[in-house]
Amino acid sequence: MIQSIEMLEKYIPPSQPNNKFIKRITAYIPIREQGLNVLVRKNQNISFIHETVLRMIAVGINNIDIMSKSLGLTGDVYKEIIAQMAIDDLVFVSTATLGLTGKGEHALQKLQKVVTENVRINKVFVHGISGSILPEEPKHIVRRPLPSDVYLEPTVQVDIGYFKKHFEEISNIYQAEQLGRILGLETPNPGELYKIIDIAYEEIRFIPVTCFVFLNESRKEFSFSFENDHDMSIMSTAVNQLNSYSTGMQKIFDAPIPNSHKIVVDTPKMDARLASLIEILAERKKTKVDTLDIEERYFCSRSLLDGEERDMMIHCDDFKTEELVISTPRLRILLEDGELLHYLCNSSSKRLIINYNKNEYGADKAAARLKQKLPNHIDLQLLANEEVNGISNDTIIFYPQMTIKSNYQTVDTKYGGKKLLKKESYAFFDVEMTKREYMAIVPESD
Residue 33 φ then ψ, to 5°: -95, 125
**Is 22 part of a structural domain of the chain?**
no
- Could you tell me if 399 and 290 lie in one domain? yes
Domain limit, last residue, from 212, 229, 250: 250
Pairing of strands 150-151, 20-45: parallel
- Could you tell me if 168 and 82 lie in one domain? no
- Could you tell me if 371 and 267 lie in one domain? yes
**Is 42 part of a structural domain of the chain?**
no
- Could you tell me if 59 and 97 lie in one domain? yes
Please name which of 357, 390, 354, 386 lies closest in space to residue 370, comparing C-alpha atoms: 354
The domain tally of the chain equals: 3
- 188: pLDDT confidence band, cut at 50, 70 and 90? low
DSSP 8-state secondary structure symbol assigned to residue 394: -
Least confident segment among 225-239, 265-279, 403-417: 403-417
As to burial, measured by CB atoms within 10 angstroms (0-12 exposed, 13-18 middle, 19+ buried), residue 79 is middle
Q: What is the pLDDT of residue 446?
A: 47
Give the best-scoring range by mean pLDDT among 23-32, 84-93, 96-105, 341-350: 23-32
- Could you tell me if 278 and 343 lie in one domain? yes
**Is 4 part of a structural domain of the chain?**
no
Q: What is the mean pLDDT of the chain?
A: 88
List, in order, residues 6 or more apart from 306 with CB less than 8 Å away.
11, 13, 23, 24, 423, 425
pLDDT tens profile 390-426: 888 999 999 999 999 998 888 888 888 898 999 999 9
Q: The pTM is what?
A: 0.81
CB 419, CB 252: distance < 8 Å: no
- Could you tell me if 292 and 351 lie in one domain? yes
**Is 18 part of a structural domain of the chain?**
no
Domain at 80, CATH number: 1.10.10.10
Full residue range of the structural domain in which residue 230 is found = 27-37+118-250
Domain limit, last residue, from 233, 250, 267: 250
Q: Is the pLDDT of residue 112 over 90?
A: no
- Could you tell me if 204 and 265 lie in one domain? no
pLDDT tens profile 281-340: 989 888 888 889 999 999 999 999 999 999 999 988 888 899 999 999 999 989 988 888
Please name which of 397, 423, 291, 404 lies closest in space to residue 11, comparing C-alpha atoms: 423
- Could you tell me if 215 and 316 lie in one domain? no
Spell 36-59 as b/e; 16+ CB within 10 A means b: bbbebebeeebeeebeebbebbee
- Could you tell me if 267 and 401 lie in one domain? yes
- Could you tell me if 418 and 289 lie in one domain? yes
Give the Cα separation of 219 and 14 in Å (integer): 20
- Could you tell me if 287 and 359 lie in one domain? yes
Domain limit, last residue, from 232, 250, 268: 250
**Is 93 part of a structural domain of the chain?**
yes
- 189: pLDDT confidence band, cut at 50, 70 and 90? low
**Is 273 part of a structural domain of the chain?**
yes
* Mean predicted confidence (pLDDT) in 341-357: 88
- Could you tell me if 31 and 82 lie in one domain? no
DSSP 8-state secondary structure symbol assigned to residue 96: T
Give the Cα separation of 225 and 228 in Å (integer): 9
**Is 446 part of a structural domain of the chain?**
no
**Is 10 part of a structural domain of the chain?**
no
